[in-house]
Amino acid sequence: MDLANQLQESTLGLFPGVLGVKFLSADRDAIRAEMLVREDLCTTPGILHGGAVMAFADTLGAYGTFLNLQDGARTTTIESKTNFFAAGRVGTTIVGESTALHKGRSTMVWQTRVTNGGGALIGLVTQTQIVIQPDRPVEEQLTALFAGRPIEEQQALLARLERSGAALYRAWAERETDETRREALLRAAAREIENALTLE
């Protein structure tokens, strides 16, 4: 199954499917799709609602961003600007061609040209998609704290973490009703302080 068909399947039961978006081609740099102008998408008899044009274009830019995400990352639109040039008329099919203007680590920008069957420009939509990076495991986050720092800075940082750990152990010990567990927590706090002093 090609990429356009895979995207098409993903719209089933969702808003792009309700709109009637049909993907024609798709890759990491461009998305092309069409949509029939139905009566129920019109704002006045026979004229496509501007919001339907925007939603159509937003769908294409969002899918384009999706194709460029790393595993586990997510996206959502944070800004969109639309210029309208002509009306989409009921019974016709509009075509959207969305291309990437910027593909960064934290944002991507896509521009979509929406035209009628004759190629006349109906709207030009430029949208910004935020890239929401996947949560990293705690171990990976801690490792990143130390990466690239001089050894002295790493030791100072670790000493601060050891002292913070000692404070936590003491706080837990204060709430502990079991005397054996309380003593164990206080011993753990003392070891953390000893580690901090070694590093300092």
Q: pLDDT tens across 4-57, in order?
A: 999 999 999 999 999 999 999 999 999 999 999 999 999 999 999 999 999 999
Q: Quick check: pTM over 0.75? A: no
Cβ burial, residue 12 (10 Å; 0-12/13-18/19+) = exposed
Q: How far is CA 115 from CA 91, 131, 192, in A?
A: 14, 28, 67
Mean pLDDT of 66-89: 95
> Which phi-psi region, left, alpha or beta, contains residue 104 (left: φ > 0; alpha: ψ -120 to 50)?
beta
Q: pLDDT tens across 119-146, in order?
A: 999 999 999 999 998 877 778 777 888 8
